[in-house]
């Protein structure tokens, strides 16, 4: 990755998650704009099933509330 710009940092109540197994957590996420990417996406855990690039206007409807919050913030930056 090259030419990385930090756009925002998310934390606090809006990043709370409770998983089906009962785990609860707050996430700290950094929203970055990356203008140059090279390489191959790679899954490096036992929980993920698939990685892919998806245009923002083609995202699925079943996103988590936390992810929807990130997407709304991204839309503010790409106006």
pLDDT at 25: 92
Residue 20: its pLDDT value, please?
Answer: 93
Q: What is the pLDDT of residue 1?
A: 61
pLDDT tens-digit map of 15-66: 888 989 999 999 898 888 888 888 888 999 988 899 988 888 898 989 888 7
34 φ/ψ angles, rounded to the nearest 5 degrees: -120, 115
Q: What's the pLDDT score for residue 39?
A: 87
Positive or negative CA dihedral for 13, 18, 24, 27? negative
Closest-CA residue to 35 (of 1, 59, 69, 8): 1
**pTM: predicted TM-score of the whole model, two decimal places:** 0.58
pLDDT for the residue numbered 26: 92
Domain extents in the chain: 2-77
């Amino acid at each position: 990755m090259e030419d990385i710009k930090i756009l925002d940092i998310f934390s606090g109540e809006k990043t709370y998650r409770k998983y089906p197994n009962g785990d609860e957590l707050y996430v700290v996420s950094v929203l970055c704009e990356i203008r140059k990417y090279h390489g191959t996406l790679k899954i490096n855990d036992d929980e993920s099933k698939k990685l892919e690039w998806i245009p923002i206007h083609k995202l699925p409807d079943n996103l988590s509330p936390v992810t929807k919050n990130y997407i709304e913030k991204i839309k503010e930056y790409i106006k």
